[in-house]
Amino acid sequence: MKIDRRYFLSLGIGAAAGTALSPLPWKSMDDSSIWSQNWPWTPVPPDGEATYENSTCTLCPGGCGITVRKIDDRVIKIEGRKGHPVNDGGICSLGLSGAQLLYSPTRLNGPMIKVNGSFQKISWDEAISKIAEKLTDLRLQGKSHTVAAITGSPRGTVPNLFKRFLDVYGSPNFLYPSSFEDSYSHLAKKTHGQKALPGFDFENADYILSFGAGIIEGWGSPVRMFRANSNWKSRHIKLVQVEPRLSNTAAKSDKWLPIKPGTEAVLALGIAYVILRESLFDQGFINNRTDEFSAWREGVLETYHPARVAGITGIEQETINTIGREFARAKKPIALCGRGEGRTSEGIGEIAAIQALNALVGSIGIRGGAFAVPEPDYIKWPEFALDETAADGLNQKRIDGAGSNQYPDTDSLLHRLPRAILSGKGEPVNAILIANANPCYTLPDTQTVIKALKKIPFKVSFSTYMDETAALSDLILPNHSYLERYEDVPVTWSLAKSLIGLTIPVVSPQLNTKNTGDVIISIAKAMKGSISDAFPWKNYTDCLKTTLGKYWNPLQNNGYMKISNYNPPEKMTKFVFQVPDKTFPVDPEGDEKVLPLILIPNDSMRLSAGSTGSPPFLMKTVSDTVLKDNDTLVQVNPNTAKKYGLKDGGYALLKTPRGFKKVKIYLSQGIGEGVISFPRGLGHTAYDKYLADKGVNFNELIGPVEDPASGLDVAWGIRASLTKV
């Protein structure tokens, strides 16, 4: 038989048709899909004994109580702790994702040193002696003051161990990121004669006037604020939100005042004008408890007539009158500020204007009002001796100018560090220790921050995760996760009574990590002499136990404790009016002619904008009007879009004086013409594929704008342009 081409083809076609008609392909397809469904990569979580342990969350400054559900020694879920004074069972989405952070592959396993641009593992002993040697070296050269440390907050034992270490070592450069609390503290020095933290008795207030505070967007202690907000809804208490954008807080408020961005304090003084003009203020409080009232009154009546204020703020004169009357006639009104989460500072003039409203109606230091809460003072460590080098070093000027003659009441101006390093003036920074902070992501003008930090020859990170700052460091000494360590958590944020929480190691350390407190004590001990002497504790747990003293046992059993029933001393219930100067509104950076739009950030409970990166669960909740694939969407009013030829979902180039990014357009009626916005918390370059390279980091597009009174960075927005691409 001749096998030609035609025969070959028909044989092939016949075979194919025959097979297709038989059940064979269908059966094997079915079998293979069932078989592959049963491949062992779908995990079967092992069962075991279920237990619950109480601890404290540290993922934001809120200080919520958590209950950790465990199966044997695995953490499987984190829930809000019932009966806890801060959150009473409620919990936010970040807190709920804690187990994903504990078991995250982005966690650092053991100390590492950078050699020729890549990290190599070293032992803890080697790592600690490396730092001790380097720091001893600098000290011997008389350069102790060129060492700096950045911690996430100035409060609690671990930050204070860093501070103590720098003191006895001989450096004044203890830095931390500033927030709304710092601006308030600065004002309290003027109005109460001593630094204090802002506290508000929201639970007993009956009228809330919020100047941009993201009450349900993470302001203060977030879950406590959610609870307060629900409580207002049940009691039909009016919430007035002053904000340029229809945020969730604005959407949930009873009255939203869509204001021109940056002019909030002007509106506050316009409202004050109404209360003054109509004599609606609390005469008794003004007479007995305030100073400088008449000078302030004159200043307000001279400059802040509602007609003029309406022109500046875009809020109608009639509305200003109504709000003024409502606020003054309420029994327990509270005015508050701190834009968004309040993690950025606010001008002292602005806070003074808003706080003056509380003073006008006598809502200071009383039930249902605003409180000035003193800093927690449970850390009382023995005095230590400074050697000559340390004394010399401490006498040097701080690198950021905080505490100088210009800003005597400011403790830290972290935003100035990059420029101080890059300017080349003064002493360079030779070494930096960074704990519980991620300045290479959270500081404004991030690219400059990274450039500056790269210039520091010895950077030590104490991060738990491979974040942006750890990736840039020369040495990493990873901390335990908050579920693996003891640490005190002073909760100050907006509570009328401060509270200490304690994190409890609910699981043993999963990786080769060490409590940062222990590491600092070990470094000090390795350096011998006066430095070692200043750290008399065996280890960090010993330090914590000694520090907390009689509080230790109750804290360990209970997980939290109220320091005392705070009855404000008399000076904390007084108020000194600050005659409004011309320092606000602070103008945003940039030239209006070239950059006609104003870009403002927004905060969201569904993204973590702080030093902890958003875990995968959190990223899953992010709306597709915020992030689509890897693009950030910028919220734009349709009229603005029309003007610049932008289309919904189209690409555009977003330019600010600090940089430019390709973004997508999201048309929305929740924002006014000429203003655009997108949230903080995206655009990480470190972490894993669930978070890295997604969207734009807002901080890269904004730069610091300083408050003349405090030097703090009070930028609330920046000029920008959008061009279709």
Where in 598-627 is the site for another protein (CB under 8 A)?
605-606, 616-625, 627
**Residues that contact another protein, how many (by CB under 8 A):** 76
Angle value at C-alpha 598, between 219 and 342, nearest 5 degrees:
15
Q: Which is nearer to another protein, 59 or 432 (CB)?
A: 59
Token pair in block for residue 599:
């870009």
Paired with 476 in beta bridges are 112, 461
CB of 244 to another protein, least distance (A): 10
Token pair in block for residue 302:
């001279």
Token pair in block for residue 204:
């007993």
What is the distance between the alpha carbons of residues 655 and 405, in angstroms, rounded to a whole number?
37
Paired with 632 in beta bridges are 627
Please list every residue from 676 through 695 that binds another protein, using CB under 8 A: 688-690
Question: Which of 111, 152, 177, 222 is in the footprint of another protein by CB under 8 A?
Answer: 222
Q: Which is nearer to another protein, 570 or 629 (CB)?
A: 629
CB contact set of 164 (below 8 Å; sequence gap of 6+): 381, 384, 534, 535
What is the distance between the alpha carbons of residues 116 and 119, in angstroms, rounded to a whole number?
8
Q: Which is nearer to another protein, 98 or 170 (CB)?
A: 98
Collapsing DSSP states into helix, strand and coil, what is residue 56?
strand
CB of 513 to another protein, least distance (A): 14
Q: Which is nearer to another protein, 572 or 641 (CB)?
A: 641
Please list every residue from 76 through 105 that binds another protein, using CB under 8 A: 76-80, 87, 89-93, 96-97, 99-100, 102-105
Q: Which is nearer to another protein, 620 or 724 (CB)?
A: 620
Q: Which is nearer to another protein, 104 or 492 (CB)?
A: 104
CB of 695 to another protein, least distance (A): 10
Please list every residue from 113 through 142 that binds another protein, using CB under 8 A: none
Q: Which is nearer to another protein, 175 or 675 (CB)?
A: 675
Proportion of the chain in helix, strand, coil states, percent, rounded to 5: 35, 20, 45
Q: Which is nearer to another protein, 4 or 47 (CB)?
A: 47
Q: Which is nearer to another protein, 627 or 663 (CB)?
A: 627
C-alpha Rg value of the chain to the nearest Å: 29
Of the candidates 498, 510, 491, 503, the residue with the CA atom closest to the CA atom of residue 540? 503
Paired with 499 in beta bridges are 491, 562
Q: Which stretch binds another protein (CB under 8 A): 155-163, 228-236, 386-394, 542-550?
A: 228-236
Is-contact 68 55, C-beta < 8 A?
A: yes
Q: Which stretch binds another protein (CB under 8 A): 517-525, 526-534, 585-593, 670-678?
A: 670-678
Q: Which is nearer to another protein, 597 or 618 (CB)?
A: 618
The reply to whether omega before 585 is within 30° of 0 (cis) is yes
CB of 196 to another protein, least distance (A): 27
Instruction: Report the half-sphere exposure of 350 (CA within 13 A, side-chain side).
Output: 27
DSSP 334: E
CB of 227 to another protein, least distance (A): 7
Is-contact 607 682, C-beta < 8 A?
A: yes
Question: Which of 130, 134, 227, 545 is in the footprint of another protein by CB under 8 A?
Answer: 227
Q: Which stretch binds another protein (CB under 8 A): 184-192, 200-208, 229-237, 464-472?
A: 229-237
Question: Which of 333, 490, 580, 672 is in the footprint of another protein by CB under 8 A?
Answer: 672
What is the distance between the alpha carbons of residues 79 and 90, in angstroms, rounded to a whole number?
8
Q: Residue 44, interface with another protein (CB under 8 A)?
A: yes
CB of 505 to another protein, least distance (A): 16
Q: Residue 216, interface with another protein (CB under 8 A)?
A: yes
What is the distance between the alpha carbons of residues 247 and 251, in angstroms, rounded to a whole number?
6
Question: Which of 1, 6, 21, 43 is in the footprint of another protein by CB under 8 A?
Answer: 43
The reply to whether omega before 708 is within 30° of 0 (cis) is no
CB of 121 to another protein, least distance (A): 18
What is the distance between the alpha carbons of residues 95 and 58, in angstroms, rounded to a whole number?
9
The type of residue at 553 is N
Q: Residue 438, interface with another protein (CB under 8 A)?
A: no
Q: Residue 29, interface with another protein (CB under 8 A)?
A: no
Q: Residue 649, interface with another protein (CB under 8 A)?
A: no
Helices 516-526, 124-140: axis angle to 10 degrees equals: 50
Q: Residue 323, interface with another protein (CB under 8 A)?
A: no
Q: Which stretch binds another protein (CB under 8 A): 204-212, 223-231, 294-302, 433-441?
A: 223-231
Question: Which of 146, 191, 229, 321 is in the footprint of another protein by CB under 8 A?
Answer: 229
Q: Residue 629, interface with another protein (CB under 8 A)?
A: yes
Q: Which stretch binds another protein (CB under 8 A): 178-186, 329-337, 389-397, 666-674?
A: 666-674
CB of 667 to another protein, least distance (A): 11
What is the distance between the alpha carbons of residues 681 and 619, in angstroms, rounded to a whole number?
10
Is-contact 605 217, C-beta < 8 A?
A: yes
Q: Residue 397, interface with another protein (CB under 8 A)?
A: no
Q: Which stretch binds another protein (CB under 8 A): 14-22, 45-53, 174-182, 280-288?
A: 45-53
Q: Which residue has the tokens 């002007």?
A: 266
What is the distance between the alpha carbons of residues 191 and 177, in angstroms, rounded to a whole number?
24
Question: Which of 47, 377, 570, 591 is in the footprint of another protein by CB under 8 A?
Answer: 47
CB of 102 to another protein, least distance (A): 7
Q: Which is nearer to another protein, 72 or 587 (CB)?
A: 72
Q: Which is nearer to another protein, 278 or 673 (CB)?
A: 673
Q: Which stretch binds another protein (CB under 8 A): 215-223, 386-394, 489-497, 550-558?
A: 215-223
CB of 405 to another protein, least distance (A): 45
Paired with 487 in beta bridges are 503
CB contact set of 77 (below 8 Å; sequence gap of 6+): 68, 69, 96, 99
Q: Which is nearer to another protein, 272 or 597 (CB)?
A: 597
Backbone angles phi, psi at 69, to 5 degrees: -90, 125
Question: Which of 12, 14, 18, 48 is in the footprint of another protein by CB under 8 A?
Answer: 48
CB of 369 to another protein, least distance (A): 24
Token pair in block for residue 718:
């920046």
Of the candidates 133, 158, 140, 138, the residue with the CA atom closest to the CA atom of residue 148? 138
Question: Which of 4, 39, 235, 570 is in the footprint of another protein by CB under 8 A?
Answer: 39
What is the distance between the alpha carbons of residues 143 and 429, in angstroms, rounded to a whole number?
9
What is the distance between the alpha carbons of residues 154 and 566, in angstroms, rounded to a whole number?
22
Question: Which of 657, 670, 674, 708 is in the footprint of another protein by CB under 8 A?
Answer: 670
CA distances, 676 to each of 256, 344, 693 (Å): 18, 19, 22
What is the distance between the alpha carbons of residues 440 and 407, in angstroms, rounded to a whole number?
25
Backbone angles phi, psi at 633, to 5 degrees: -100, 135
Is-contact 468 194, C-beta < 8 A?
A: no
The interface mask with another protein, positions 251-280, x = CB under 8 A, is xx---x-x----------------------
Is-contact 236 254, C-beta < 8 A?
A: no
Q: Which is nearer to another protein, 230 or 404 (CB)?
A: 230
Please list every residue from 473 through 532 that binds another protein, using CB under 8 A: 510
Token pair in block for residue 279:
């004599």
Q: Residue 391, interface with another protein (CB under 8 A)?
A: no
The interface mask with another protein, positions 232-251, x = CB under 8 A, is -x------------x-x--x
Q: Which is it for the CA torsion 449, 454, 456, 459, positive or negative? A: positive
Q: Residue 223, interface with another protein (CB under 8 A)?
A: yes
